[in-house]
Amino acid sequence: MASPVMAQIVPFKPQIIAATVQAPVQAYAQPLLPPQPAAIAQPAVSARIVPASAQKSGRLVSPPIAHAVAAGQVSPAAAQAIALDEKQPTPDMTALQAVVPIPRPDTSVLAYAAQPKAVAAISALDKKMDFPPAPGEPVPATASAAPPELSKLIKRYAGLYGVPESLVHRVVHRESKYDPKAYHKNGYWGLMQIKYATAKSMGYEGKPEGLLDAETNLKYAIKYLRGAWLVADNKNDNAIKLYARGYYYDAKRKDMLDVLEK
């Protein structure tokens, strides 16, 4: 009689164990389902809710959010707030960018916005190149023979190299009578009749005939004239003489050869 009783007890115990083990698992697993947000509690959206194991932080997958924003059920600002704490783009963020794209700046607007800085930079460069000439004698009456544009160039480069404007006018009138195309067979070029070798020593790298350009000639000849003026102790008459005959030995005697450097 003992064996039938044992046969009834053996299958009975696994049923009790299964019941006692499965009950806590079901009770523990149910809270893992995220609560349904009230803002998007629609049938189509609630069907797409997934547990935390399938979506980070238990949030909605991106398609329902995108459709909710497109349908006007959720504002773009509220939807974007979902992913503000993410350092890397998530599917939610990608979907939101597709629904609410960020407009690209118009090229004309960018050009307009950048224009003042560009103009300011050019204006600043022009102002840096404009210095008042060194004080000296009044501009001679012969300067009236100079065209207005040429007078502006003379004033500009006289200020750039820090020599009196009147001194430059005197040299230009003496050497060429304000003729930028003047040339002497001994190799003197342009407004201030500078030699090609002298211009090269001042930094000129072009061809000899390039010195027939008025501004090019003034740029390198006034630089050479500045050295003569400094060696002549800022005396215009002596500076003109030194400019005409050369002043290398005068500068060497005064230990001022640096004025002949490029």
Query: In the prediction, which pLDDT does 77 show?
Result: 62
- 25-31 CB contacts, 8 Å cutoff, 24+ apart: none
Per-domain residue ranges for the chain? Answer: 39-110, 128-260
Query: In the prediction, which pLDDT does 76 show?
Result: 64
* Percent of the chain clearing pLDDT 90 (strictly above): 44
Query: In the prediction, which pLDDT does 32 show?
Result: 52
pTM for this prediction:
0.52
Query: Could you tell me the pLDDT band of residue 85, with boundaries at 50, 70 and 90?
Result: very low
**Beta-ladder partners of 188:** 184, 195
CATH of domain 128-260: 1.10.530.10
Token reading at 68:
């909710």
pLDDT digits (tens, 9 = 90+) for 142-157: 999 999 999 999 999 9
Q: Helix 148-161 crosses helix 165-176 at what angle (to 10 degrees)? A: 130
